Amino acid sequence: MPPALRTFTRRTLTILTLSTATAAGAGYFYLNSGPAYPPTTHESRRPPPPWSPPPRAAMIDALKRSANSEDTQFDILVVGGGATGAGVAVDAASRGLRVALVEREDFASGTSSKSTKLVHGGVRYLQKAVFELDYEQYKLVREALRERRVFLQTAPYLSHMLPIMLPIYKYWQVPYYWSGCKLYDLLAGKENMESSYLMSKGKALEQFPMLKSDGLVGAVASTTTPV
């Protein structure tokens, strides 16, 4: 064999041997080395069932047993599960008291289900206080205004100020409603949200185009508090 061919063959065999060894080593390393970040597994768990109150019979039995032992005795018994009763029960329970609430029907099934969803500001009491010269009704107005302000300060996520408009279709009602609203603003004092004001017929129709325009005189705008 010529020397040149012998040298070429030796060099080719060397390259093939190195290539084969490199490929074999890379394959072995790939097959036997695990991933840099092994996958994590989480145990599958069924979520706990939602809380549900005890059966009615069990709750009645707990009420009966509460009279026989001081350990099971309730601190407060609330009669009625409407807006007021439920609020009293929640407030008392949040203060660490053991509370029992009884309701003839379902929660908020009576008057609370037909509520206007407005925080009562005592306007009706103001009318009685003026026409009947009743000081007790006046005190109710002051109390309602104060509690409305407290509600807005302590639970702004549940309520907010909302402008409302009362359309007027008789001329004599303009001074009647306007004077009543301004007297209410005066009594509210620092508890007032925004002062009431008169609106012309054109302004009222501009704000509420679907309002009945026949006989419309104007409107009175004030502020209330929806829940």
Residue ranges of the domains in the chain?
A: 56-114, 123-224
Q: Rounded distance, CA 117 to CA 175, Å?
A: 28
| CA nearest to 71, candidates 98, 94, 101, 95 | 98
Alpha carbon 47 to its chain centroid, in Å, reads: 25
**In this structure, is the dihedral angle defined by the CA atoms of residues 145, 149, 155 and 157, taken in order, positive or negative?**
positive
Q: How confident is the model at residue 210 (pLDDT cuts 50, 70, 90)?
A: very high
Beta strands of the chain (E only): which ranges? Answer: 76-79, 99-102, 162-168, 197-200, 218-224
Q: How confident is the model at residue 199 (pLDDT cuts 50, 70, 90)?
A: very high
Q: Which residues contact 143 (CB under 8 A, 6 or more apart)?
A: 122
Among 7-21, 86-100, 150-164, 197-211, the minimum mean pLDDT is found in: 7-21
pLDDT of residue 95: 94
